[in-house]
Structure 1
């Protein structure tokens, strides 16, 4: 069974929000990556460099709260629809099975493929309008 974690999207407030969540939950960030840290071919406009591309805060019990700022070219997120479910399967085969099963009848946003951060990753909206991400970490730390 894959791990399931909430993934929050923001319009530029991710760092502020996650510092607040950290003050409540405690702990340390497992990862903080800004848009300026990603390869140039995936980078957007320079004015977005200091926005959060990905942040992860372990909150206990094997759960992780994750989030990012949505790049302007992807539009604005609306409160209430800015939550995704992130699944972390144990294998590439499980990732494909979950992706293919859950995305059936829905809208594929990003097909499963190798991502620059070393994972096998894909995104979709299921036929009920729920946003999902599948992230198989091929190189666990």
Structure 2
């Protein structure tokens, strides 16, 4: 096996999501961006984008079939952070215009945790342990 890369399929707003994640994660690097050409019925939408966040590749694209896909909390990204400030920053940014699944709080022994669904429906677990 060469690799396993998470692939996220959006319903016409993948490019907006790419920019949101670039703004949210200070080390996000856009490795690839291919847009559908102007002759396509998907003109202006993402054929394939690849972001690298802390070395983790994430592929994003817009849905090409006439069916709306939805993300589910049963699949999420877990972010382990170095500092409490970093964890709180990710929690604050990712929950904006989204939903709080588990409020960010100290759940014992100074283990801070929160779980949110961002404005695109992608779920994120944010974790900080001292």
| Structure ID, larger Rg | 2
Normalising by the residue count of structure 1, what TM-score does the alignment of the two structures yield? 0.45
More helix by share: 1
Normalising by the residue count of structure 2, what TM-score does the alignment of the two structures yield? 0.48
Higher relative contact order (CA 8 A, sep 6+): 1
